[in-house]
Amino acid sequence: MLRGPPPQELEIDSIRKPIPSRGIVRMSQSPTPNASPYPDLKNQVALVLGAGQSGNPKSKHWGNGAAIAKVLSTSGAKVIACDVNLDAAQQTASRIQASGGVCDAAQADVTSARDIQRVTDQVLTKYGDQTQPQNRLSQLPCRSPDHGRQGSGSIINNASIAGMRYLGKPQVAYASAKVAVMHFTKVTGVMYAGKGVRVNSVAPGMMYTPLLEMLGNSESDNDREVYRKITDHNVPSGVMGDAFDVANCVAFLASHSSRYITGQNLVVDGGLTSSTGTGGVPAPSPKL
């Protein structure tokens, strides 16, 4: 997000003090530091890449990127829902507009530097210097040169617990790409920290999105087997998550409330990667 002005409550920032020995700036000295409204995305702009969703366009469920766009919009941000599939982006924008949110649709392939530059330029032309890319795809993140130029912003990449554990499916390329997303996040988080740009990632676990719904309803035995394996995981919390579990974490990472967090990966998995697979109760099938 290329940031807009911070909320009024954050004027406590003005009492930041330098620490001479280290040459860094101490965060707020207030007894109630960083007591910002949560999430604080008013007057900000969010560029969500991969904001469409697979499967039945009329599904009542939300894909991760679509839900991220929705939650950022509900939190006050102006959203650009961008997807390689323009119809899918427009579907998300329509759902958000229907509930009064501000959301444009755009088309871009996140693997294309030219596409990303084009859509970034469009957003900057429309909104000036207040934009937040939510790169939520398995492909490596978009380049965001304009964040450094304007001096602040938050980038959130979408990883997966597949980049942390073997999940029972031989997805070598997917798992390798996801671990790369997490390390990319760590490295770029450090590289851009001094420029006021934060870079974090979320790693969803077993989330019920329209993609999963499609696998469950597929005529392919292989797809249904993948669905069975995903929904049979022994998640300690006893339930699958959904896209809003991911989206709410993204809203936090996008907001000023997380201003001191960068280069981190936030796992959203109901405890799955913390368990040995024996400590929880079987996850019931999702209610359809």
Ligand X SMILES: NC(=O)c1ccc[n+]([C@@H]2O[C@H](COP(=O)([O-])OP(=O)(O)OC[C@H]3O[C@@H](n4cnc5c(N)ncnc54)[C@H](O)[C@@H]3O)[C@@H](O)[C@H]2O)c1
Q: Which stretch binds ligand X (CB under 6 A): 21-29, 71-79, 203-211, 277-285?
A: 203-211
Contact 49, 65 (CB under 8 A): yes
Which residue is it, tokens 């596409």? 115
Q: Given the complex with ligand X, which of 43 and 85 has the nearer CB atom?
A: 85
Rounded Cα–Cα distance for residues 72 and 231 (Å): 28
Min separation Cβ 193 and ligand X, Å: 24
- Point out which residues pair with 107 in neighbouring strands: 83
Rounded Cα–Cα distance for residues 167 and 285 (Å): 18
Site string for ligand X, 83-112 (x = CB under 6 A): xxx--x--------------------xxx-
Task: Write down the H helix ranges in 99-242.
Answer: 113-127, 145-150, 172-193, 210-217, 221-231
Min separation Cβ 15 and ligand X, Å: 40
Tokens of 18: 């330098």
223 forms part of the interface with ligand X (CB under 6 A): no
Q: Among 108, 195, 111, 110, which Cα is nearest to 145's?
A: 195
Residues 138-157 that bind ligand X (CB under 6 A): 138-139
Rounded Cα–Cα distance for residues 92 and 89 (Å): 5
Rounded Cα–Cα distance for residues 233 and 272 (Å): 8
Residue 14: exposure state from Cβ atoms within 10 A (0-12, 13-18, ≥19)? exposed
Q: Given the complex with ligand X, which of 11 and 232 has the nearer CB atom?
A: 232
Q: Given the complex with ligand X, which of 4 and 55 has the nearer CB atom?
A: 55
Q: Which of 36, 160, 188, 201 binds ligand X (CB under 6 A)?
A: 160
Does 260 qualify as catalytic in the annotation? Answer: no
Site string for ligand X, 50-79 (x = CB under 6 A): x-xxx--------xxx--------------
Rounded Cα–Cα distance for residues 66 and 92 (Å): 6
Q: Given the complex with ligand X, which of 4 and 65 has the nearer CB atom?
A: 65
163 forms part of the interface with ligand X (CB under 6 A): no
Which residue is it, tokens 């965001």? 144
270 forms part of the interface with ligand X (CB under 6 A): no
253 forms part of the interface with ligand X (CB under 6 A): no
Q: Given the complex with ligand X, which of 41 and 81 has the nearer CB atom?
A: 81
Q: Given the complex with ligand X, which of 1 and 267 has the nearer CB atom?
A: 267
211 forms part of the interface with ligand X (CB under 6 A): yes
- Point out which residues pair with 47 in neighbouring strands: 80, 133
Q: Are strands 24-25 and 18-19 parallel, antiparallel or unpaired?
A: antiparallel
Residues 30-49 that bind ligand X (CB under 6 A): 49
Q: Which of 206, 235, 253, 272 binds ligand X (CB under 6 A)?
A: 206
Active-site hit among 38, 127, 166, 174 = 174
Min separation Cβ 140 and ligand X, Å: 11
Radius of gyration of the chain (CA): 19
For residue 87, what are the CA distances in angstroms to 46, 52, 218?
A: 19, 8, 22
Q: Which residues bind ligand X (CB under 6 A)?
A: 49-50, 52-54, 63-65, 83-85, 88, 109-111, 136-139, 158, 160, 204, 206-207, 209-212
The residues assigned a catalytic role are 174
